[in-house]
Structure 1
Amino acid sequence: MSARILVVDDIPANVKLLEARLSAEYFDVVTAANGAQALEICDRAECDIVLLDVMMPDMDGFEVCRRLKANPKTHFIPVVMVTALDSPADRVRGLEAGADDFLTKPVSDVVLIARVRSLTRLKMMTDELRMRAITSFEIGVQAPEREAVNDLGKGGRILLVDDRPSSYERLAPLLAAEHDIDVEPNPSEALFHAAEGNYDLLIVSLGLENFDGLRLCSQARSLERTRHVPILAIADADNNARLLRGLEIGVNDYLLRPVDKNELLARARTQIRRRRYTDHLRDNVQHSIEMAITDGLTGLHNRRYMESHLATLAEQAGSRGKPLALMILDIDFFKAINDTYGHDAGDDVLREFAVRIKKSIRGIDLACRYGGEEFVIVMPETDLQVAQMVAERLRRAIAGEPFAIEKGTKRIAVTISIGLSTLERKGEAVRDLLKRADTALYRAKHDGRNRVVAAAA
């Protein structure tokens, strides 16, 4: 696993030391001697992680971190502060500036590399989601960076897994000041609780009495419903080996006992902000997928989806020896509706038409907007006789009740013509199936409209 690490320090000896440590682990290293250089490098997207010294002239590390996290272009880059400052107040100040971690010099090689590797995995996952979401941004879906910049990380749902009353009775009230907190003192039930609770953060004690806390973290990472929930581990100060193991299996962050209240809240806010950001990215990816296969006006599938899915349905029908029916529907005199009442009225008709289609077909049927005022319905396991009954029922549903337009102030009569065809043989090209239905539709139009015509066998 390689990544490009930006080392920011005004002391050349410190830079050389970190560069040697990271290069030995096959990371690419770039360097900056001050905050201004670091901001420029990050703005050009030339690094994956920032290792940032705090005590620098002109602009200290806290200010550099604040600027990185306030900029939507660099907000998602993980920042680790590496400094000689070691008081809890300094750590909290760094975390509140937006840092993902705060390591105190001298930092052991093992701890440094484990943290960098953990954040590299996180950055790669985020980058993949961002790349997938680019389509969403291009078609106008709001990118989540600006919202993430303003997110305070409060109001989250947290599950605390701890079987020591002396511990959770102290920690739970501290967390409750900013979040909704549930306590699970029975580790055996914790995974079920986590899977059902839709939590933003799991806080797991690694000092459980008769249960391996790391195994619980590993199980949470392997379960689909908790795979993306961040985990904050709490361990005793002499548990470094277990903490490093935890970072390897997917723990996002950790705290050492005795737990400082402000550091606990700061680290919880950091993880919750990141969870919300990645959730927004996943939602945008899902939305872009839906938009790619859905007609925006009617909510039905679009032609692209129909053409790819129809081939699959036809192949399945042929291989199983089952019938498959297809109908093409066309709204009669639709151009006259647009010309007489305007395109907004035409859109009203199309939307209501889609609603009536959905009410008239089964869940396994595929309804699509083919283009303009033409629609296609594919009906698996349906022969011609049944398809004709469905088509006639749909024709009556359209003609039997006027369509509301102009916000319900007017109602107009609408009728449709339908052409039907069925799959004739195994391996038949779907274009032939569509062509026969289209020919039948032309006959329905030619014979007077507002009728159903089946393709000749």
Structure 2
Amino acid sequence: MSARVLVVDDVPANVKLLEARLSAEYFDVITANCGTQALEICQRAECDIVLLDVMMPDIDGFEVCRRLKSDPRTHFIPVVMVTALDSPSDRVRGLDAGADDFLTKPVSDIVLIARVRSLTRLKMMTDEMRMRAITSHEIGIQAPEREAIADTGKGGKILLVDDRPSSYERLAPVLAEEHTVDVEPNPSEALFHAAENNYDLLIVSLNLENYDGLRLCSQVRSLERTRSVPLLALSEADDNTQLLRGLEIGVNDYLLRPVDKNELLARARTQIRRRRYTHYLRDSVQNSLEMAITDPLTGLHNRRYLESHVGTLGEQAAARGKPLALMILDIDFFKSINDTYGHDAGDDVLREFATRIRKSIRGIDLAARYGGEEFVIVMPETDLHVAGIIAERLRRSIANEPFSIEKGTKRIEVTISVGISMLEKKNEPVADVLKRADQALYRAKHDGRNRVVVADAA
């Protein structure tokens, strides 16, 4: 699907010109003739990128951009200011308002299309993570946009790759006003340096003496450990071909020499904010994945995860001709703990019980809370004899050491009953193994609790 570009300008001729340029490159174009209309379109999520004029009759472009970037509904939409204003202070003002780029009219068709493509490509790469993060928010995780909007973009860690002392000796102190800066004057060492450190931004000169700056940028993008780090290129003013190639291989932004100090800081903040936003999204997705498979009280896997993975473990055991044992554990008289000491005490017992389970099993074993006070442990490459030893060791660790409740002010005795079974036939459903373990658990309960019972053969 083609990206949808919103062109915002109150001069019809300008709108028509941009519309024609973009349509020729197969972008879908929608238009707005004022800031208010642009804000409404963006709030309805009808565009992928905004090309925004500054001088408009109702709300100027700086304020429109500021509102877009401060609204969680529109914060993630790239904004490129396209205006006749050409002073460094105007560019800095636009970047400080949150613009992703600031292009001065007349804009080269090639530069314009390259920037639109690179920014829409970046947006589409994050859209799926955004949707997952929204789902995370719906199940209770804080929305990442709130942190991103509040982020100043300062306090980043930057690697400056430049082999000209006259250049890096001027730029590094400027960047150091807001960030931690490392200078790498040897381009052949820059990739290793970048891979070994968790940088928020790489600034690369494309005019290195004896090294191809574009090749370095390409290597950064191809290496797993540096692939997501933003790249800001420094280039000579007359080298559009080099800049366009840089944008094609993944350079995020660029600055032309002579470098304006304030614009350098503004563009660095923009890239660092974007990187942190991407990290917020990834963290939200990771949290949502963990919540989907983890029991929040005990930290063990939940029943959903167990049921989706135990079958695979059974198939692997059968295919390799290896044994697979399974045990069901139940805390004895757990209802009386809740009734006597309260549900908070019951939660204390469940958390400590899960901790003792983790200490008693191997990394390849799968432990899950099956429901209430019932837990399941699946043990690959384990026969009934070894499983019985592990179960008995766990039973003793529970029975021999009282559990602390009520913030450690009380200690109570706890015991467990355990039923064990084993995968006995090559194509036997694991559900049958689980059922036999459950029947063994029932016998353990019936025979007096605080014991381990091995299931009868199928």
Same fold (TM over 0.5): yes
Aligned residue identity for 2:436: R
State how far apart, in whole Å, the 2-side matches of 1:207 and 1:312 are.
Answer: 54
Contact 2:81–2:99 (8 Å) recurs in 1: yes
Query: 1:81 aligns to what SS in structure 2?
Result: strand
User: 1:434, CA displacement in angstroms?
Assistant: 0.2
State how far apart, in whole Å, the 1-side matches of 2:2 and 2:123 are.
Answer: 11
| 1:364 has 2:364 as partner | yes
State how far apart, in whole Å, the 1-side matches of 2:106 and 2:215 are.
Answer: 30
State how far apart, in whole Å, the 2-side matches of 1:220 and 1:372 are.
Answer: 50
Number of residues of Structure 1 aligned to a counterpart in Structure 2: 457
Q: In structure 2, what is the equivalent of residue 131 of structure 1?
A: 131
| 1:350 has 2:362 as partner | no
Q: In structure 2, what is the equivalent of residue 97 of structure 1?
A: 97
Contact 2:133–2:144 (8 Å) recurs in 1: no
Gaps (5+ residues) in structure 1?
none
Q: In structure 2, what is the equivalent of residue 44 of structure 1?
A: 44
Q: What is the TM-score of this pair, normalised by structure 1?
A: 0.99
Aligned residue identity for 2:125: M
| 1:401 has 2:405 as partner | no
State how far apart, in whole Å, the 1-side matches of 2:208 and 2:11 are.
Answer: 43
For residues 52-105 of structure 1, the C-alpha deviation after alignment (integer angstroms, 9 at most, x for no partner) is: 001111211111111111111111110000011111111111111110000010
Once the two structures are superposed, the pairs formed by residues 108-257 of structure 1 within 5 Å of their partners are 108-257=108-257
State how far apart, in whole Å, the 2-side matches of 1:77 and 1:134 are.
Answer: 15
Query: 1:367 aligns to what SS in structure 2?
Result: strand
Q: In structure 2, what is the equivalent of residue 422 of structure 1?
A: 422
| 1:9 has 2:9 as partner | yes
Aligned residue identity for 1:352: E
Q: In structure 2, what is the equivalent of residue 319 of structure 1?
A: 319
User: 1:395, CA displacement in angstroms?
Assistant: 0.1
Q: In structure 2, what is the equivalent of residue 439 of structure 1?
A: 439
Query: 1:72 aligns to what SS in structure 2?
Result: coil
Q: In structure 2, what is the equivalent of residue 74 of structure 1?
A: 74
Aligned residue identity for 1:103: L
For residues 290-312 of structure 1, the C-alpha deviation after alignment (integer angstroms, 9 at most, x for no partner) is: 11110000000011111111111
State how far apart, in whole Å, the 2-side matches of 1:229 and 1:351 are.
Answer: 39
State how far apart, in whole Å, the 2-side matches of 1:278 and 1:145 are.
Answer: 10
State how far apart, in whole Å, the 2-side matches of 1:436 and 1:216 are.
Answer: 61
Query: 1:225 aligns to what SS in structure 2?
Result: coil
Query: 1:224 aligns to what SS in structure 2?
Result: coil
Aligned residue identity for 2:58: D
Once the two structures are superposed, the pairs formed by residues 284-363 of structure 1 within 5 Å of their partners are 284-363=284-363
Q: Which runs of 4+ in 1 moved over 6 A?
A: none
Query: 2:225 aligns to what SS in structure 1?
Result: helix
- Please, which moves more after superposition, 357-366 or 131-140? 131-140
Q: What is the TM-score of this pair, normalised by structure 2?
A: 0.99
Q: In structure 1, what is the equivalent of residue 58 of structure 2?
A: 58
Aligned residue identity for 1:359: K
State how far apart, in whole Å, the 1-side matches of 2:380 and 2:193 are.
Answer: 41
User: 1:181, CA displacement in angstroms?
Assistant: 0.4
Once the two structures are superposed, the pairs formed by residues 446-457 of structure 1 within 5 Å of their partners are 446-457=446-457
| 1:280 has 2:277 as partner | no
Contact 2:2–2:27 (8 Å) recurs in 1: yes
User: 1:145, CA displacement in angstroms?
Assistant: 0.9
Query: 1:85 aligns to what SS in structure 2?
Result: coil
For residues 156-196 of structure 1, the C-alpha deviation after alignment (integer angstroms, 9 at most, x for no partner) is: 00011111111111111010000000111111111111111
Q: In structure 2, what is the equivalent of residue 373 of structure 1?
A: 373
CA RMSD of superposed structures (Å): 0.8
User: 1:404, CA displacement in angstroms?
Assistant: 0.6
Q: In structure 2, what is the equivalent of residue 412 of structure 1?
A: 412
Aligned residue identity for 1:357: I
State how far apart, in whole Å, the 2-side matches of 1:415 and 1:160 are.
Answer: 61
State how far apart, in whole Å, the 2-side matches of 1:71 and 1:197 are.
Answer: 33
For residues 420-448 of structure 1, the C-alpha deviation after alignment (integer angstroms, 9 at most, x for no partner) is: 00110112101001001000000000000
Gaps (5+ residues) in structure 2?
none
Task: Report the identity percentage.
Answer: 84
Aligned residue identity for 1:322: K
Q: In structure 1, what is the equivalent of residue 87 of structure 2?
A: 87
Aligned residue identity for 2:109: D
User: 1:149, CA displacement in angstroms?
Assistant: 1.3
User: 1:209, CA displacement in angstroms?
Assistant: 1.3
Aligned residue identity for 1:92: V
| 1:18 has 2:18 as partner | yes
Aligned residue identity for 1:79: V
- Please, which moves more after superposition, 263-272 or 143-152? 143-152
State how far apart, in whole Å, the 2-side matches of 1:368 and 1:278 are.
Answer: 32
State how far apart, in whole Å, the 2-side matches of 1:109 and 1:432 are.
Answer: 67
State how far apart, in whole Å, the 2-side matches of 1:326 and 1:104 are.
Answer: 68
Query: 1:259 aligns to what SS in structure 2?
Result: coil
State how far apart, in whole Å, the 2-side matches of 1:284 and 1:226 are.
Answer: 21
Query: 1:199 aligns to what SS in structure 2?
Result: coil
Contact 2:331–2:373 (8 Å) recurs in 1: yes
